[in-house]
Amino acid sequence: MRLRNTATRSIEPFAPLDPRNVRLYLCGPTVYDRAHLGNARNVIVFDVLFRLLRHDHGADAVTYVRNFTDVDDKIIARARETGRPIDSITRETTAWYLEDMDALGNLRPTHMPRATDHVAGMTAMIAELIARGHAYEAEGHVLFAVATYSDYGRLSGRSTDDMIAGARVEVAPYKRDAMDFVLWKPSADDEPGWDSPWGRGRPGWHIECSAMAKALLGTEFDIHGGGNDLLFPHHENEIAQSCCADPGTGFARHWLHNEMLLVEGRKMSKSLGNFFTVRDLLDRGVPGEVIRFVFLQTHYAKPMDWTDEKAREAEAILRKWRALSSPGGTPDAAVLDALRDDLNAPQALAELHRIAKAGDGATLRASAELLGLLTPALGGWTETGRDDAALVEAALAARAEARAAKDWTRADALRDALVAAGVVVTDGKGKGWEAGPGFDPAKLEGVA
């Protein structure tokens, strides 16, 4: 296998530290709201990697950790806005996140630690950094002294000026240097907090992942990933903390970052009206498997553009593939080669098209499952056993009869049912139709 490594800025052979225990860490969500569509990209990328490594090394030989940040200023702010207890918000949004990621066909990681369960490990790491001269206490805060780590900035390749601008550093009189970052901060009486040698407070964001990775994967492991928006300062800070707390270890040997998401060619933004969550798409009737397919059409190292047209095309392809696929096959060598070449999912999809064209349903399914496609868990949206065309045509015929009888109430109700089922009438006369986005003919059962 070859993987792009941000740390070396090259695609290089991947050899795990221990082939019997390949270890992965992915930065997970801060749980205060629904996951937006861009949040799903690195989960899908790492899910494909997880599946491939399990195929190559064995299902029990891969340990995958993805955390939940459940103590954070955004969560505190949401609790104040809503008047709800913090733990109620984090429990609810954690469940939402898992439900949405499951709907996209992602396997659950081996471990999904919550930051609040690892505060003791964080305080121990902070104490070690202070003892080694890499951190200092100031006005109830503990800060990491960036100047004590000579390799700071190597991962991102940024100059000090660029780093200061990129980090949006907080100006504070208690900092020795503008680049120093918070490991521990004091908590007000109405904020969550834990007792520590530095007073009641809570951890900074960056220390959380360092402590959880150490607890579950050790001081050195194989792959750490996330979106490229985390490259600096989050991942840069993780390296500094971890390598200084445990000198002589390398923390993550390989860094994998995915590019960002566009929507219809533009950056996703609430101000542009093109911001939406995974749940928004699912509730619109776009199947999770379709969302996943669209994501996999673009290599993870390139910006991905979500369009409704891509979703429609993906749905048509997946319907054909599911109708053709059958159990009992083994993955195609060319699909495996594509995925082992820096997770080249677009090339793997091209190979699946070739296999489908040849009519090899068993190989198609076994190969597609490496990408999390055509799995039984995601099959419910197409494998219905219904005569979908008959349901649609019966509803269209019933609407035509209602219109002829000038029963406009029934005609309108049937029209609304067809729209809700994702049926697109193609000739304006009700004689032709096609499956549109969110096509779900089950909604037409009993309406005609």
Residues 134, 231 share a domain: yes
Residues ≥6 apart with Cβ < 8 Å to 360: 329
Residues 120, 72 share a domain: yes
pLDDT tens per residue across span 32-75? 999 999 999 999 999 999 999 999 999 999 999 999 999 999 99
Residues 350, 324 share a domain: yes
Structural domain includes residue 276: no
Residues 400, 251 share a domain: no
Please say whether the beta carbons of 109 and 64 come within 8 A: yes
Please say whether the beta carbons of 233 and 181 come within 8 A: yes
Q: What is the pLDDT at residue 448?
A: 79
Residues 221, 146 share a domain: yes
pLDDT tens per residue across span 403-444? 999 999 998 998 899 888 888 876 554 446 766 666 777 788
Residues 319, 229 share a domain: no
Residues 376, 392 share a domain: no
Structural domain includes residue 270: no
Residues 316, 414 share a domain: no
Q: Under the phi-then-psi rule, with left for phi > 0, alpha for psi from -120 to 50, and beta for the rest, what region is 223?
A: beta
Q: Where are the alpha helices (DSSP H) in 341-387?
A: 345-358, 361-368
Residue 105 burial (10 A CB sphere; 0-12, 13-18, 19+): buried
Q: What is the pLDDT at residue 429?
A: 46
Among 354, 380, 406, give the residue marking a domain's end: 380
Query: Which residue range is the domain that position 15 belongs to?
Result: 2-258
Q: What is the domain-level CATH number for residue 90?
A: 3.40.50.620
Residues 113, 244 share a domain: yes
Structural domain includes residue 225: yes
CA–CA separation, 55 vs 411, rounded Å?
53
Q: Which of 405, 390, 406, 407 is nearest to 448 (CA)?
A: 390
Structural domain includes residue 272: no
150: helix, strand or coil: coil
In total, how many domains does the chain have?
3
Residues 243, 392 share a domain: no
Residues 211, 185 share a domain: yes
Please say whether the beta carbons of 254 and 15 come within 8 A: no
CA–CA separation, 62 vs 24, rounded Å?
8
Q: What is the pLDDT at residue 275?
A: 86
Residues 171, 139 share a domain: yes
Please say whether the beta carbons of 184 and 142 come within 8 A: yes
CA–CA separation, 381 vs 322, rounded Å?
10
CA–CA separation, 325 vs 322, rounded Å?
5
Q: What is the pLDDT at residue 161?
A: 67
Q: What is the pLDDT at residue 362?
A: 97
Q: What is the pLDDT at residue 430?
A: 43
Q: What are the φ/ψ torsions at residue 182 (nearest 5 degrees)? A: -80, 130
Angle at 392 between CA 386 and CA 397, to 5 degrees: 135
181: helix, strand or coil: strand
Return mean pLDDT, the chain.
92
Residue 261 burial (10 A CB sphere; 0-12, 13-18, 19+): buried
Q: What is the pLDDT at residue 387?
A: 59
For residue 151, what are its two tokens?
């390799």
% the chain with pLDDT above 70: 93
Among 324, 349, 380, give the residue marking a domain's end: 380
Give 195-255 as a DSSP string: --TT-SEEE-HHHHHHHHHHHHH-SEEEEEEEEGGGIIIIIHHHHHHHHHHSTT--EEEEE
Q: Which residues of the chain, if any, have pLDDT below 50?
A: 385, 429-431
Q: What is the pLDDT at residue 238?
A: 98
Q: What is the pLDDT at residue 381?
A: 84
